[in-house]
Structure 1
């Protein structure tokens, strides 16, 4: 069972104070006028010093590496499938562009506050030669897609089993008494921003409705305004959860020491080899 450490209790005290000052005394506050145009999110290439932070994220900022890792696997899948089709003299069907997908179980509040709830950096298009070949038959396409999946699995098999166990452990932080208490201030804070919602799920529904109703020219500013509200009201919660997740990860690493050693030894060389083989660069969204 998850045990709440001293550090989490201290963070909770800070969270309660923040909720009291940010949400009670400013109950009439509303999202301010849109800020000046924000520069688009960037792409970064620097890997963390410890690949554990990319595979087993404990904070919202660390999930930027996780998002990049997931997109990289999808790029490898598509490129390997396209290479298979090219060798067979046909093409695979066109697919929707890839996108970095946020982990709201570990919200990246600085990114959300700057760019909104969904906007991120654009995923670079793969540098593949255009094909004029016909689209292959269903059987041909399935065969090449299977090869693409196999190519990506050569990477994900190095980290996915450990990562799945890690994400399974995170529920202990969300259900801890400290997190539950910190979340109690969320409805009042959201209401103080003119966004009545009882919890995160309800807030996302309100945000979606407002963005759907916004004129196209107003949509970026509306999304950023909702992102600022979410980030402001979730900071007291993350002040509790971030240190709790970091402590939990330290114990997780100790409990899975042999697998972690293998991950640290093999993952980065495998990623660099895949970059060379498939001609795609591992990149990450940055605010």
Structure 2
């Protein structure tokens, strides 16, 4: 699966090279290092526009080739997590058991297919999915309550899996092929301008690893102004490389869709039907980030 851009809340997990700010804080606390003063609370998650309009071509939602299309992918992934969380809370509510500590569903962006206009406008902070329950007040249970929590969490996970099973196979194959662009000579050459471009903007980060480590530090410090400035710098300095990747990715995607035509035809029928069924069952609605 592709690496994901970090954000301050509800990251699906740390990427191989990019740690979510909240995860980094937790790792530091467990490392045995001298105790440090608590970091300031993260700033409020900014509101962004969303849309519930499904794309005319469902493949755009499953097999993104542009940053704009990844907004559809984020919405699909987040919808499964929203349905799972709603099912979890319904299961626990029937048994009068509190929900275990967990972050609410959020949109998760992809760094292999960066949505530069969105990052430029909204920064790196994550966006909680509309309709998600607030995680505040959740607490772990003990004994029988813990067993109920475990059973309900499995039931919720099964709801998410019932959606993902429709598309995860072909999507995984696409992301594997798309990841080959990381080492494409044209892409590597274009990425050579990233560090110098940042330096010209007085950002001390020679490469992406160093850059996102700096983003993490800004987020942990609650430095909204600094984080947004870094987002604008990233959008500007990554554009030359992303222009090259986008050209290559679109050609690769065209070939991939031709090779997987029958799977995509099936998705265009099965996936919308499953989404609508989950919307009716859990009184939720799919949504996608928008500019």
TM range (shorter): 0.7 to 0.9
> Aligned runs of 1:2-81 on 2, under 5 Å?
40-81=47-88
Distance 1:212 1:127, change over 3 A: closer
> Residue in 2 aligned with 1:33?
none
Distance 1:54 1:255, change over 3 A: same
Distance 1:120 1:95, change over 3 A: closer
Matched, 1:229 2:237: no
In the TM superposition, what is the alpha-carbon distance from 1:127 to its structure 2 partner? 7.0
Instruction: Tell me: higher relative CO, structure 1 or 2? Use CA pairs within 8 A at least 6 residues apart.
Output: 1
> Residue in 2 aligned with 1:95?
102
Whole-angstrom CA distance in 2 between matches of 1:191 and 1:205? 16
Q: Which runs of 5+ in 2 are unaligned?
A: 1-45
When the two chains are superposed, the root-mean-square deviation of aligned CA atoms in Å is: 2.4
Q: Does the CA-based 8 Å contact 2:279-2:286 persist in structure 1?
A: yes
Q: Does the CA-based 8 Å contact 1:64-1:284 persist in structure 2?
A: yes
Whole-angstrom CA distance in 1 between matches of 2:119 and 2:177? 25
Q: Does the CA-based 8 Å contact 1:42-1:121 persist in structure 2?
A: no
Q: Which runs of 5+ in 1 are unaligned?
A: 1-38
> Residue in 1 aligned with 2:189?
181
Q: Does the CA-based 8 Å contact 2:219-2:227 persist in structure 1?
A: yes
Q: Give 1 or 2 for the bigger CA radius of gyration.
A: 1
Distance 1:92 1:111, change over 3 A: same
CA offsets, 1:145-193, max 9 Å, x none? 2111111211110001111111111122121111011111111111111
Whole-angstrom CA distance in 2 between matches of 1:127 and 1:140? 19
Paired residue total: 241
Whole-angstrom CA distance in 1 between matches of 2:97 and 2:237? 52
Matched, 1:163 2:171: yes
Distance 1:89 1:190, change over 3 A: closer
> Residue in 2 aligned with 1:153?
161
Q: Does the CA-based 8 Å contact 2:50-2:287 persist in structure 1?
A: yes
TM-score, normalising length: structure 1? 0.77
CA offsets, 1:31-51, max 9 Å, x none? xxxxxxxx8421111121111
Aligned to 1:170, the other structure's residue is in SS state helix
Whole-angstrom CA distance in 2 between matches of 1:278 and 1:187? 47
